Amino acid sequence: MNKRILMLAGDFVEDYELMVPYQALVSVGFHVDVVCPGKKAGEQVATAIHDFVGFQTYAELRGHNFTLNKSFDNVKLEDYAGLYITGGRAPEYIRLDPKVLEYTKYFFEKNLPVAAICHGIQVLTAADVVRGKTLTCYVAVGPEVKLAGGNYKDIPATEAITDGNLTTSPAWPGHPAILKEFYKLLGVKIEL
């Protein structure tokens, strides 16, 4: 089994939606290359913490810095077993990079495992890979899924939906569910 995962991120990626899956995938033996368009290995992305604190939508607070471990322009797609697309504010602008869309389409063309969480689904809609698929995302991104031809499901934030090679969750409370599904897609078996 190929033990490399490509993870797409950018400035103001949601902190948990980068840190938790990165560390969880590393803990089960994967090498995870975290990349950002326009940045090189050793450079950092700023993270943000999204939480509901009494407003109609989430508030964004400054999180940590995350040091990228791979240069975006040095990605060789054939090196990877799967793709993980993080959430937060980053997907709204990284999806404007043609290479991000090319990278994303590759995993669907090869039917390789893909996980996307929260606003990360914006990368999927821009790449035109959700047509006919059932998926979820942060509720405010739901209309984009429908317009892109996907079957949007509004589910609790603690859950995930898997359709073929794609698993999605609405937000970081769904990490246990989306990671469990992503592990299955990758052929990972964890026994207690």
Q: Please name the residue that has the structure tokens 């089960």.
A: 28
In this predicted structure, the answer to whether residue 99 has a pLDDT above a threshold of 60 is yes
Evaluate if residue 59 carries a pLDDT over 80: no
Number of domains, the chain: 1
Q: Average pLDDT of 170-176?
A: 96
Which CATH number characterizes residue 166's domain? 3.40.50.880
Q: Quick one: pLDDT at residue 53?
A: 75
Q: Which domain holds residue 182?
A: 4-186
Do residues 169 and 117 lie in contact, with contact meaning Cβ atoms separated by under 8 Å? yes
Q: What percent of the chain has pLDDT over 90?
A: 90
Among residues 115, 103, 111, 104, which one has the least CA distance to residue 183? Answer: 115
Query: How far apart (Å, rounded) are the C-alpha atoms in residues 5 and 85?
Result: 11
Work out the mean pLDDT of the chain and round it to a whole number.
95
Q: Can you give the pLDDT at residue 1?
A: 57
Buried b (16+ CB within 10 A) or exposed e, 50-67: beeeeeeebeeeebeebe
Gap between the Cα atoms of 129 and 118, Å rounded = 16
Q: Each residue of 74-96: pLDDT tens digit?
A: 999 999 999 999 999 999 999 99
The C-alpha atoms of residue 148 and residue 6 are separated, in whole angstroms, by: 24
Q: What is the mean pLDDT of residues 138-159?
A: 97
> SS3 of 40, please?
coil
Confidence category of residue 54, pLDDT binned at 50, 70, 90: confident
Report the range of poorest mean pLDDT among 38-42, 57-61, 164-168: 57-61
Residue at 192 is within a domain: no
130 in a domain, yes or no?
Answer: yes
Q: Assess whether pLDDT exceeds 80 at residue 2.
A: no
Per-residue pLDDT at 141 exceeds 90: yes
At 21, phi and psi to the nearest 5? -65, -35
Task: Taking residues 111-139, report their average pLDDT.
Answer: 98
133 phi and psi angles, rounded to 5 deg:
-95, 150
User: β-pairing, 31-35 with 4-8?
Assistant: parallel
In a domain, 191, yes or no: no
Residue 120 lies in a domain: yes
Q: Flag whether 62 is in a domain.
A: yes
